[in-house]
């Protein structure tokens, strides 16, 4: 099995956290020919990373689908709790992480000149604030988003929140995370997990991020 991924790819980061947390023997490589190449599009018609190549050779794109597959295929150690309500909570926080935090951040980071007043920035910032306001109500005092154990929710949330301070600062909101003390505390506690730490260390150079997403001297 092989995962096409890049260290700079925000949507690939959650999948790599899950792979490292489960200790899976999956080769991780950049997309052949490069992300936008015809060669890679011939393998994955969506043209996106992450893309898992199954043992059968079938490509499986979309980070959420890949994480569900890995959880079903390699259930130990579990990254999904047992009961239906706990499972639903994890899935909800995954959705908030992907749709209301990661996606707005990626869209905001794509704006080459945040000072240009592009109206779509306001839309993405509003969505981001909605995601953070909701997440703040769910994260408690435990190390991970839904309790004492790492779950798929943390795989999704931790890389996004790592990127947040720098992207928010570029859009005039340097203290955005501090407005959500529970989330700020969660960022610090969840990043102690070795699998999360490994992925944040992989992301840091390309995003020019320091510890917990602080700006580096060159960032
Ligand atoms: N919803 C997708 C988003 C994947 C995505 O947009 N990945 C970026 C890299 S982080 C990409 O492949 N961009 C290239 C493109 O959209 O052509 C997922 O969760 O896997």
The average pLDDT across 172-183 equals: 95
Whether the per-residue pLDDT at 116 is higher than 90: the answer is no
Identify the residue whose tokens are 């109500």: 137
Of 17, 45, 73, the domain-final residue: 73
Which ligand 1 atom is nearest residue 61's CA?
Answer: 20
Structural domain total, the chain: 2
Convert the pLDDT of each residue in 86-114 to its tens digit: 999 999 999 999 999 999 999 999 987 77
Q: How many angstroms is it from 65 CA to the middle of ligand 1? A: 13
Residue 155 lies in a domain: yes
Q: Which two tokens stand for residue 58?
A: 């079938």
Nearest alpha carbon, ligand 1 atom 13: 48
Nearest alpha carbon, ligand 1 atom 2: 62
Q: Which two tokens stand for residue 110?
A: 């794509």
Instruction: Summarize the chain as % helix, strand, coil (round to 5).
Output: 60, 5, 35
CB distance 63 to ligand 1 below 6 Å: yes
Convert the pLDDT of each residue in 45-101 to its tens digit: 999 999 999 999 999 999 999 999 999 999 999 999 999 999 999 999 999 999 999
| pLDDT for residue 211 | 59
**What whole-number percentage of the chain has pLDDT above 70?**
95
For residues 52 and 95, membership in a common domain is answered with no
Residue 215, classed as helix, strand or coil, is strand
Residue 212 lies in a domain: no
Q: How many angstroms is it from 195 CA to the middle of ligand 1? A: 22
Residue 169 lies in a domain: yes
Q: How many angstroms is it from 107 CA to the middle of ligand 1? A: 11
CATH number at residue 50: 3.40.30.10
Q: Which residues contact 213 (CB under 8 A, 6 or more apart)?
A: 161, 162, 163, 164, 165, 166, 187
CB distance 62 to ligand 1 below 6 Å: yes
The beta strand positions in 16-134, using DSSP E, are 27-29, 51-53, 59-61
Residue 59, classed as helix, strand or coil, is strand
Between the alpha carbon of residue 183 and those of residues 12, 140, 160, 189, the distances in Å are: 22, 9, 12, 10
Q: Which two tokens stand for residue 85?
A: 């309500």
DSSP state of 33: T
HSE toward the beta carbon, residue 217, CA cutoff 13 A: 0
For residues 63 and 105, membership in a common domain is answered with no
CB distance 180 to ligand 1 below 6 Å: no
For residues 136 and 203, membership in a common domain is answered with yes
Q: Which residues pair with 59 in a beta bridge?
A: 53
Contact 108, 171 (CB under 8 A): yes
For residues 48 and 101, membership in a common domain is answered with no
Nearest alpha carbon, ligand 1 atom 10: 9
pLDDT band for position 30 (50/70/90)? very high
For residues 88 and 189, membership in a common domain is answered with yes
Of 27, 47, 73, the domain-final residue: 73
Of 51, 73, 95, the domain-final residue: 73
Residue 46: count of CB within 10 angstroms of its CB? 10
For residues 42 and 102, membership in a common domain is answered with no
Residue 218 lies in a domain: no
Which ligand 1 atom is nearest residue 106's CA?
Answer: 10
Q: How many angstroms is it from 48 CA to the middle of ligand 1? A: 4
Q: Give the residue numbers spanning the domain of 6.
A: 2-73
């Amino acid at each position: 099995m092989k995962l096409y991924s890049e260290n700079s790819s925000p949507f690939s980061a959650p999948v790599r956290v899950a792979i490292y947390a489960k200790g899976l023997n999956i080769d991780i490589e950049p997309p052949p020919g490069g992300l936008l190449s015809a060669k890679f599009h011939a393998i994955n018609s969506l043209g996106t990373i992450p893309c898992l190549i199954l043992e059968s050779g079938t490509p499986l794109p979309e980070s959420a689908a890949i994480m569900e597959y890995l959880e079903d295929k390699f259930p130990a150690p579990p990254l999904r709790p047992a009961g239906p309500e706990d499972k639903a909570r994890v899935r909800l926080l995954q959705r908030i992480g992907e749709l209301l935090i990661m996606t707005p951040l990626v869209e905001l980071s794509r704006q080459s000149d945040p000072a240009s007043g592009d109206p779509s920035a306001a839309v993405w910032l509003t969505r981001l604030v909605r995601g953070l306001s909701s997440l703040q109500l769910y994260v408690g005092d435990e190390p991970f988003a839904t309790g004492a154990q790492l779950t798929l929710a943390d795989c999704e949330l931790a890389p996004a929140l790592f990127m947040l301070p720098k992207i928010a600062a570029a859009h005039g909101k340097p203290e955005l995370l501090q407005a959500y003390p529970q989330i700020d505390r969660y960022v610090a506690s969840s990043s102690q997990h070795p699998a999360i730490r490994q992925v944040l260390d992989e992301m840091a150079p390309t995003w020019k991020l320091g510890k917990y997403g602080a700006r580096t001297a060159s960032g």
